[in-house]
Structure 1
Amino acid sequence: MRLFVIKRKWLYMIVASFIVGFGGWYLLSSESIITTSKSVDTEEKKLEINMVTGEFKSKTADGKEIEAYRFDPGTILLEKNNDVTLSIVGVNGEEHPFYIEGTSIKGVVKKGQETVVNLNFKEEGTYRLICDTHSTSEHGIPMIAYIVVD
C-alpha cells in the first residue's frame, strides 16, 4: 500500500495559495473594511481627526494630589495643503481655551461639547496646539498637542 507523499516545497505552495486566496476573499467580502491612507474614490474626501481632552490624577507617596490634562491623541500627522477638520470633544476640565502656535487659530473646548476647527497648513513643520489654562509648568503640566505637517 503506497501513501500519497507531498514534498515540502509543494506543501508550502499549497498553504501559501490557501492563505492568499482566503485573504483575498476576506478583503473583498461585503463585511470587510478597507483602510488606506489615500481615498479609493477619484473624489478627494476631507480628512476628519477626532481629539478629546483628558485628565490624569494621582497621589504621591506623601499624599499630594497631582494632575495633568492632555489632548488625545497628543500628536497628529498631516500633509500640507490638505483640508482637514479637527474635532475636539471636551471630556475633562470645564473649559480649555486654546490656540495653534504660528497661526491665527484660537478656540475654546468646553466639557461635553464639540469644537470643530478647519485646518489647511501651507508650510511644513511642527505646530503646537496649546491650552492657555495649562500652557506652562507654572500651571501644572503643560497641555500641548503636536501637529506635524509634511
Structure 2
Amino acid sequence: MSKVFIVSKRQIQLFIVVAVLIVFTGVYLSWDGSKEVDGQPSEPRIFQIVTVEYKSQTADGKEHEMYRWDPGQIVVQKDELTELHISGVSGASHPFVIEGLGIKGEVLKGKTTVVRFTAKKEGTYPILCLTHTDMRHGGPMVGYITVD
C-alpha cells in the first residue's frame, strides 16, 4: 500500500515564504557591518605653529630681539600622520630643519609652510631655525616635537 501526499498550492506558497524567511534570517545574523581599516588615518592631524618675535630694551637703551616657534612643543603619536602649518608672522625668513626626521624647509613672513610626516620612532625632535641659532642672532629659535 502506497501513501500519496497531496500538496496544495497554498502549502507550496507557505513553504517558499518560510524558506525565504530562513535565508534572510541567516544572512542578517551573519552580516558583519564593520569595515576593515589599514591602520593609517586618511586625514592628518594638523598643528598650527607661528613664528613669534619678542623685543626688549635694556636699561642702557640696547634693544634685544628673540624669536621662537609658538607653541614651543607639540606631542604626536608614533605612526600618526601629522601635518604642521607653520605661519611666518615675525621675521622675514626662517629656514629650518627638524633633526631626526630628515625634514627641512623655510618659513617666510606672511606665508604658511606645510610639512607632512609620519614619525616612526618615539623620541623628541628639535625644530631648529638656521637663522636664529644663538643669542647674537635673536635665538636660539628652537621648538620640539615629542613622539609618544
TM-score, scaled relative to structure 2? 0.69
The aligned counterpart of 1:73 is 71
Runs of 4 or more off by more than 6 Å in structure 1? none
The aligned counterpart of 1:103 is 101
Task: Say if 2:84 and 2:114, in contact at 8 Å, map to a contact too.
Answer: yes
The aligned counterpart of 1:39 is none
Q: How much has 1:85 moved relative to structure 2?
A: 0.7
Cα distance in structure 1, aligned partners of 2:58 and 2:139: 15
Cα distance in structure 1, aligned partners of 2:102 and 2:125: 12
The aligned counterpart of 2:85 is 87
Cα distance in structure 1, aligned partners of 2:142 and 2:56: 20
Unaligned runs of 5+ in 1: 1-42
Percent identity over the alignment? 51
Q: Does 1:112 align with 2:110?
A: yes
Q: How much has 1:141 moved relative to structure 2?
A: 2.4
Cα distance in structure 1, aligned partners of 2:88 and 2:100: 23
Q: Does 1:59 align with 2:57?
A: yes
Cα distance in structure 1, aligned partners of 2:137 and 2:93: 15
Q: How much has 1:136 moved relative to structure 2?
A: 2.8
Cα distance in structure 2, aligned partners of 1:107 and 1:96: 8
Cα distance in structure 1, aligned partners of 2:102 and 2:133: 17
Task: Say if 2:101 and 2:119, in contact at 8 Å, map to a contact too.
Answer: no
The aligned counterpart of 2:142 is 144
Q: How much has 1:102 moved relative to structure 2?
A: 1.4
The superposition leaves residues 67-123 of structure 1 with CA deviations (integer Å, 9 ceiling, x where unpaired) of 101110000000010001100000000010000011221000000001000021100
Unaligned runs of 5+ in 2: 1-39
**Number of aligned residues:** 108
TM-score, scaled relative to structure 1? 0.69
Larger radius of gyration: 2
Secondary structure of 2:60's match?
A: coil
- In angstroms, what is the RMSD of aligned CA positions? 1.4
Alignment of 1:126-137 (within 5 A): 126-137=124-135
